[in-house]
């Protein structure tokens, strides 16, 4: 792809890349054992700082939706692993639930028990906002993960993946692969269309494709499940007899997408996945599949939330920043994983 095409991508991603550096600081500069950290959010090359020294024990409550999806299971697993890195963290994990009333009760219990901080990935950000506000009003800092509250006062800090950036990364990669063909047929298998995250991913994808003169010719939506992915892909393949590039938003539903592709005997296109599952990365490693890349949507967000909660509760900041307090918002990067760099990511990937 020409340099002229690359410049808009850099402009679109500049904020995400800059904030991603802060995300690395969160994970890399707070590990007790920076050279051997088992956390999915840790940086093995980080240098220890005074933040790594054991301090006063902090009790952190953690609540997330049910682990009915590989990425969500990875969220909780990485959070537990991060907490185990610290002798001064007592992590209280509520049972994962997709029932808003139950999750509200979990947070109310944390408040009544007087925990030092709460890390919360809400099933529904708007519905969980009032109880998060209660916690903040009770003097308990809340770290909001992935799905935002609808009040800026409901969280002390927010850690987000970059959904728009995912689309930009996927679209830019596809431009690099087929952008020299102005007639290239590009397809998209989205997640749940009613969700803002899906809309953001699709918008970023469209914006990046436009930069190399392409657009989405065929689009269907699935539901983040294997079954939904297979059904949506089968419909797409039937409707599009020729495809040059395909982006599937989610690697869990991608298991079904790949099954449909194999059943249809199609292999004429380049496929890009989304989220960064281990099974997708193994497909990329093996090189025998249409799947040639996947875009990371970090399952380490809650792990970073645990690290931030510890710092905030102990009155510390990020050691590599000049500012004396933890930032209010951190947006993590959405890098593209290919056969050239898959070894750098696969050991920390989640299982679908």
Half-sphere exposure of 130 (CA within 13 A, CB side): 6
* 123 and 45, same domain (yes or no): yes
Q: What is the mean pLDDT of residues 248-254?
A: 97
* 11 and 156, same domain (yes or no): yes
In a domain, 335, yes or no: no
* 131 and 218, same domain (yes or no): no
pTM tops 0.85, yes or no? no
Cα torsion angle, 163, 164, 165, 170, sign = positive
For position 36, what pLDDT does the model report? 33
77 Rama class: left (phi>0) / alpha (psi -120 to 50) / beta: alpha
* 315 and 247, same domain (yes or no): no
* 20 and 155, same domain (yes or no): yes
Domain of 227 in residue numbering reads as: 163-296
CATH of the domain at 237: 3.40.50.2300
Q: What is the mean pLDDT of residues 41-67?
A: 78
For position 48, what pLDDT does the model report? 59
Comparing C-alpha atoms, which of 208, 198, 197, 344 is closest to residue 276? 344
Query: Can you read off the two tokens belonging to residue 122?
Result: 């809400």
* 140 and 182, same domain (yes or no): no
* 59 and 155, same domain (yes or no): yes
More confident of the two residues 19 and 279? 279
220 Rama class: left (phi>0) / alpha (psi -120 to 50) / beta: beta
pLDDT grade for 42, boundaries at 50, 70 and 90: very low
In a domain, 274, yes or no: yes
* 49 and 194, same domain (yes or no): no
Is the pLDDT at 54 greater than 50? The verdict is yes
pLDDT digits (tens, 9 = 90+) for 221-245: 999 999 999 999 999 999 999 999 9
pLDDT digits (tens, 9 = 90+) for 313-351: 999 999 888 888 999 999 999 999 999 999 999 999 999
For position 352, what pLDDT does the model report? 82
């Amino acid at each position: 792809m020409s340099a002229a095409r690359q410049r808009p991508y850099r402009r679109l991603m500049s904020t995400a890349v800059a904030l991603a550096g802060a995300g690395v600081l969160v994970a890399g500069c707070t590990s007790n054992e920076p050279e051997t950290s088992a956390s999915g959010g840790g940086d093995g090359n980080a240098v220890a700082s005074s933040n790594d020294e054991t301090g006063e024990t902090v009790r952190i409550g953690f609540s997330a939706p049910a682990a009915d999806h590989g990425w969500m299971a990875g969220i909780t697993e990485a959070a537990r692993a991060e907490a185990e890195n610290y002798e001064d963290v007592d992590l209280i994990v509520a049972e994962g639930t997709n029932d808003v009333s139950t999750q509200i009760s979990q947070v109310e219990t944390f408040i009544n028990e007087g925990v030092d901080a709460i890390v919360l990935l809400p099933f529904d950000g708007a519905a969980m906002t009032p109880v998060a506000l209660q916690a903040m009003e009770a003097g308990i800092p809340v770290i909001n993960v992935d799905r935002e509250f609808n009040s800026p006062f409901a969280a002390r800090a927010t850690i987000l993946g970059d959904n728009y950036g995912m689309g930009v990364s996927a679209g830019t990669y596809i431009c690099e692969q087929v952008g020299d063909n102005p007639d290239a047929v590009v397809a998209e298998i989205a997640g749940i269309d009613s969700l803002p995250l899906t809309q953001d991913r699709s918008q970023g994808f469209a914006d990046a494709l436009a930069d190399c003169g392409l657009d989405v010719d065929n689009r269907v939506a699935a539901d983040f499940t294997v079954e939904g992915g297979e059904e949506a892909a089968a419909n797409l393949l039937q409707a599009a007899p020729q495809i040059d590039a395909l982006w599937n938003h989610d690697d869990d539903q991608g298991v079904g997408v790949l099954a449909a592709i194999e059943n249809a005997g199609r292999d004429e296109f380049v496929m890009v996945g989304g989220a960064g599952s281990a099974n997708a990365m193994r497909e990329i490693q093996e090189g025998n599949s249409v799947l040639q890349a996947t875009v990371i949507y970090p399952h380490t967000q809650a792990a970073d939330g645990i690290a931030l909660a510890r710092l905030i509760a102990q009155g510390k900041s990020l050691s590599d920043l000049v500012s004396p307090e933890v930032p209010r918002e951190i947006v993590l990067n959405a890098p593209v994983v290919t056969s050239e760099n898959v070894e750098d990511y696969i050991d920390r990937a989640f299982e679908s």
